[in-house]
Structure 1
Amino acid sequence: MPTALEASPGERLRTLRDLLGLTGSDLARMTGISQSWISQVETNAREPSEDRLRVIAEATDTPLSFFFAKPSSVPLDSLRFRKMASASRTLTRRISAFYGESFRVTEEVTSDARYPAPPLPYAMANELTEEDIEDLADQTRVALRLAPDKPIPHLTRALERAGVAVAPIVLSDPAGDTASTNKHFGVSYWAGIGETALIGYFPGHQGDRDRFTLAHELGHLVLHTFRPRAADPEGEANRFAGALLLPRSRAEIDITDRMTLEGYARLKANWGMSIQALILRGAAVGNIGDSRKRSLYVQISQRGWRKNEPVTVGQESPLLLWTLITKLFGTKPYVPASERLAIQPAVLRSIAPQPVAAATAAAGADHGSRTNVVQFKRRGSAGPDEPANVLAH
């Protein structure tokens, strides 16, 4: 039975429903257990029997240990989301539950493997100037062991080697189909110095969008972990992302007021940023004015590039969590890890996908459209102070 440090089974039951996107009636139909019993347990109006929890566990392919697991240390009201304003509250609640469970698992496996916490810089001042954000982005490049003025070949791997875990979030609906999350892009949390950091993102069809999401969420970790009440956190994180992906020293050289969209397309191939993000970056460093920016955006709309830009940036795949769980649970880790980590195998497959399976899926999605794909090279060997080749290929 749970200890004082663990959530009640009722709380965990509600978390399970949120995690799987199930209503009380959905779960009642799946299990044959009345909806009123489910509701009473979730509100702690009655104690659940282990037999009924076992029925729910079997019906949802969830280990019984899930109901007695210590809850995530993430305060869900502190999560930072990159999402559209019209994103569904119900879906956002589900993503919060999914992220909370992902964070709990990440804490456990990184602790068991003694993987180092990220050495990220962090902002403390109440107000940040644009120069402050630029400087913090430069400091973050140093922390990630990146060149100060070169493109980032593989942002995901740079984050993971520095101790920031990255997890793709793929949700399914009750019918087993992939649920739409196209109004959400990313979510992140870091408790601070010496603590676990996890960036969750929703894989899309555009590698440049995913890279910007990771950089944006990293911005939240650096800028808002100790400044939770910043006036414009999303704007600051966007500025940080641009500065991280294309440092000011290069943006001031590479972007000019006379550059055509074709020139921006060439920059996209080099820096792994969308044309639209590059235009905003040029404006942020003062190299293009408002009228030129508006003109470029009109041209983008006229060419139909708002949602479908030319030049495909190769998609990145995370590796850290898969590497750690295979070290702990073997080469076929999902089932044996499920009971120990108190998590559904399907959730574990989402946040720690098998690299070969992920590569095969990506190859299938890109079949017939490989022309002009920008594949960023992997970083070289880990330095002497990095974990002993835990991410070696």
Structure 2
Amino acid sequence: MKFFYVQAPVIPMDSLRFRKKASASVTTTRRIHAFYAESFRVSEVMLNRLGYPPPPLPHATAEKLSQEDIEELAEDTREALRLAPDQPVPHLTRALERAGIAVAPIALNDMGGEENGTSSDHFGVSYWGGPGEPALIEYFPGSGDRDRFTLAHELAHIVLHTFRPWAPEPEDEAHRFAAALLVPFRRACEDITEQLMLTDFARLKATWGVSIQALIMRGAAIGNIDDVRKRSLFVQLSQRGWRKSEPVSVGQERPLLLWKTLQRLYGVRPYVPASEDLAIPPTVLRSIIPTPTREVSGATPIDAPSSVVKFQRRSH
């Protein structure tokens, strides 16, 4: 009953930023909005109780952003996340959490009540109220490289569009920012050239934990790959069946911040006591903050603070 009396945060539908396909259904989007609102409420309450600092992120305010502006903001964001300026990001989820940005998976129940942790049209959603306010990124778990790009894409919305809701092409800006964050400009200029073959891009994927398709687009964004070569590479991807299933598997990352916060506040078996205090059913709370597994496929143990995702080759 407490659920009906609790004060929910006001998160306007049009203030949420989604990474989704144009074909995404309005009904599913509304369900995700409702799920996200509860997730945000729970994470905000818990992090505030422990005095967790808000994220120290840069934010764009200019009316229009050039590629150079996006590169600079990506560099500033790396610095804010305490990441090396020109090295691969070993564990993006942990970097976000160290900076005070909560990360959580999305698991919606289907009509039969079964949990469905995937969405074919939605990838992620985020919201940040601005400096001094909490932030939350949620995502539908998929492949390791897709999840990392989704997190970087949602971080882009937080940095680029919190104070620029009128941006004319927010999705394009977010894609370019995400690629710039994951593959910094100097290294991209050195590593991505027009002479690369698809096998070379697969090697780069193993280094950077970024999909081959995103790497090709990154090369085009910085001017190292022209339109003719880009089209040729994507044709080759389609011919090999790599548009849907790329070689080289990237280990999946798992959030830890909200789980550790939940345990600190409610003990080693937190769901029942937390559900009463937070006015949320235990099953929904478990969906928002799942119990972490000891091992992550392709990665070192999840409970190691400095765990590094190992990008592994997969024969094709």
With the shorter chain as reference, the TM-score category is over 0.9
Q: What is the aligned partner in structure 2 of residue 305 from structure 1? A: 242
| Structure 1: gaps spanning 5 or more residues | 1-63, 364-372, 382-393
Residue 374 of structure 1 deviates from its aligned partner by: 6.9
CA displacement at 1:379 relative to structure 2:
6.3
Structure 2 counterpart of 1:225, which letter?
T
Please state how far the C-alpha of 1:152 moved relative to its aligned partner.
0.2
Structure 1 residue 380, shift from structure 2 partner? 4.2
Measure how far apart 1:75 and its partner are.
2.1
Aligned mate of 1:119, from 29, 44, 56 = 56
2:220 is matched with: 283
Instruction: Report the alpha carbon displacement of residue 375 of structure 1 after superposing the two structures with TM.
Output: 6.4
Instruction: Work out whether residues 154 and 379 of structure 1, in 8 Å CA contact, stay in contact via their aligned partners in 2.
Output: no
Identical residues among aligned pairs (%): 64
SS in 2 for 1:108: helix
* Aligned-pair Cα RMSD in Å: 1.7
User: Letter of the aligned partner of 1:128 in structure 2?
Assistant: L
1:271 matched residue in structure 2 = 208
* Structure 1 equivalent of residue 125 of structure 2: 187
| Runs of 5+ consecutive residues of structure 2 not aligned to the other structure | 308-316
Deviates more, 1:119-128 or 1:344-353: 344-353
2:13 aligned with 1:76, yes or no?
A: yes
Aligned partner of 2:313 in structure 1 is none
Alignment partner of 1:315 is 2:252: yes
Match of 2:146 in 1: 209
Please say if 1:227 is aligned against 2:164: yes
Give TM-score, length-normalised by structure 1. Answer: 0.75
Give the equivalent residue in structure 2 for 1:36: none
Select 1:243's aligned residue among 164, 180, 185: 180
Letter in 2 for 1:184: H
Task: Answer yes or no: is the 8 Å Cα contact 1:220–1:237 preserved in 2.
Answer: yes
Q: Deviations over 1:258-309 (max 9, x none)?
A: 1000000000001000000000000011111111100000000000011100
Q: Give the TM-score of the pair, scaled to structure 2.
A: 0.93
CA distance in 2, matches of 1:379, 1:287: 36
Deviation, structure 1 residue 178: 3.1
Q: Deviations over 1:326-359 (max 9, x none)?
A: 0000011111100111112122112211112xx5
Q: Which amino acid aligns with 2:155?
A: L
Secondary structure class of the residue paired with 2:178: helix
AA in 2 matched with 1:297: F
Structure 1 residue 79 displacement after superposition: 0.4
Structure 1 CA distance for aligned equivalents of residues 299 and 39 of structure 2: 30
| 3-state SS of paired residue (1:305) | coil
Number of equivalent positions: 305
The whole-number CA distance in structure 2 between the counterparts of 1:174 and 1:291 is 46
Give 1:77 deviation, angstroms: 2.0
**Which residue of structure 1 aligns with residue 93 of structure 2?**
156
